[in-house]
Amino acid sequence: MKMLIGGEWVDRDEKIPVLDPQDDSVIDTVPAGTPDDVKRAFDIAERGAEIMRNLATYDRYEILLKAAHLLEERLEEFSRLIAREGVKTIREARKEAARAVNTLTYAAEEAKRIQGEIVHFDADFRRDRRVGYWLREPVGIVLAITPYNDPLNMVAHKVSPAIAADNAVVLKPATVTPLSALKFGELLLEAGLPPEALSIVTGRASQIADALVTDPRPRVITFTGGTEAGEDIIRKAGLKKVMMELGSSSAVIVMDDADLDRAVPLSVDGAFWAAGQNCIGVQRLFVHRKVYDTFMERFVEHTRRIKVGNKLDESTDMGPMITKAEADRVEAWIKEAVDLGGKLLVGGRREGNFIWPTVLEKVPKNARVVCQEVFGPVVVAEPVDTLEEAVAKANDTEYGLHAAIFTQDLDRAFKAARDLKFGGVMINDSTDFRVDYMPFGGYKKSGLWREGLRFAMEVMTEIKLVAFNVNWQKG
């Protein structure tokens, strides 16, 4: 496929192969974009921002809604593309594609809800007779940088609120999964998006990242990825609003009164969705000692039943890691945990880019599977004696995206919700629960601002105040 710059499909002599991580076969190639391509994309986006600014609200609504309908009609085509270039099984990919339909639909609805307020200047002690109001206007250009693990819906999460808020977008998809993003660009153009309003620049981050983030023209950068990359963007971006969803180490607390029939399957699903390559996937389990043995026996048994294999096989539950390098890393972290005294309850197996779902216990806190984001199919379990102990251990991390607690006690639920230092706390559910219109983001090194259509649009707009000094004396 070619990259999209201002409605034109652009190729380059240097190509980047897009590999199926299942067997490293070549699916397609994309151009290796250059800093000149980035400059051209922003040049065109400046015109696109003016065009978008003058679109009627209904036009934006109609474009996004038509794109949702088109995507729904081609759901299987997009699902297979997501599964082939990424890590998800075909069943997981269908859920992602269906969520992207919802994301576009929600964005279309939110396009009609950008509002302001009347300002009563005479409420000031000076009793000023001025009248006025404030409203939201587009920032102009949004730079979106997306990860590999949700190659379609994460693109929709960044592009659709930017469009709903009247902005032009320059998108840099993940180097290893650019195809879904490019097909999404085709879809938006077909839906009537002005060509100048969207450019999708493919390429290696090492070659074009600096050109993207240092250009002064985008007023908002929205980025999902690793914490180190996010910190690098912050250092280089300059005076911009930077939305970030970064690393995580999600914790689940299981109390002694928990409904294990609910807690076990939800926690297993949350741990191994997309082979654990999920920013809100379950990584750490803190289980009350009274139910620890029972819970872990059932958790391990559920884990053993997960079928690993061909992503396009309807019966497969879990696919591969995205690259050999990532599989190597996760395998090394598992080995380190065992070498440090951890006990392997199930998993640890490696074949090619596949890592079988792995459960560990008795792992010291300095092991990387505990203190860093695994982003792979690995869970670490530990018994606790009290809610206070569980909360303290859950909070003992640099990250703070999602946490969860299973309990039948309302007081415990409210106490956990108050004391857990995470952007989202799920009660009697897995940490990987998410709907696409809720505020989504984290504390500490898990990010800045919040995604979720309306919340992203607040960042992608500026507030303008208008005040009238009225001569009230004249008739």
As annotated, the active-site residues are 245, 279
Q: Which ranges constitute the DSSP H helices of 245-354? A: 260-272, 289-304, 324-339
Residues 27, 311: Cα–Cα separation, whole Å: 14
466 contacts 135 by C-beta, under 8 angstroms = yes
The single-letter code of the amino acid at 147 is: P
Q: Which residues face 444 on adjacent strands?
A: 399
Tokens linked to 57: 């609200």
159 contacts 181 by C-beta, under 8 angstroms = no
Residues 35, 16: Cα–Cα separation, whole Å: 16
Residues 7, 13: Cα–Cα separation, whole Å: 20
Tokens linked to 23: 């067997």
Residues 211, 171: Cα–Cα separation, whole Å: 13
263 contacts 415 by C-beta, under 8 angstroms = no
Residues 196, 464: Cα–Cα separation, whole Å: 25
* Cβ neighbours of 269 (radius 10 Å): 16
Tokens linked to 286: 């803190």
Sign of CA dihedral 406, 411, 417, 420: negative
Side-chain-facing half-sphere of 80: CA atoms under 13 Å: 5
Report residue 201: phi and psi, to 5°. -100, 120
Question: Token pair 């990825």 is at which residue?
Answer: 225
Sign of CA dihedral 289, 293, 294, 299: positive
Residues 393, 292: Cα–Cα separation, whole Å: 16
Report residue 155: phi and psi, to 5°. -65, -45
343 contacts 360 by C-beta, under 8 angstroms = yes
Taking the CA atoms of residue 243, residue 185, residue 45 and residue 16 in that order, the dihedral angle to the nearest 10 degrees is 80
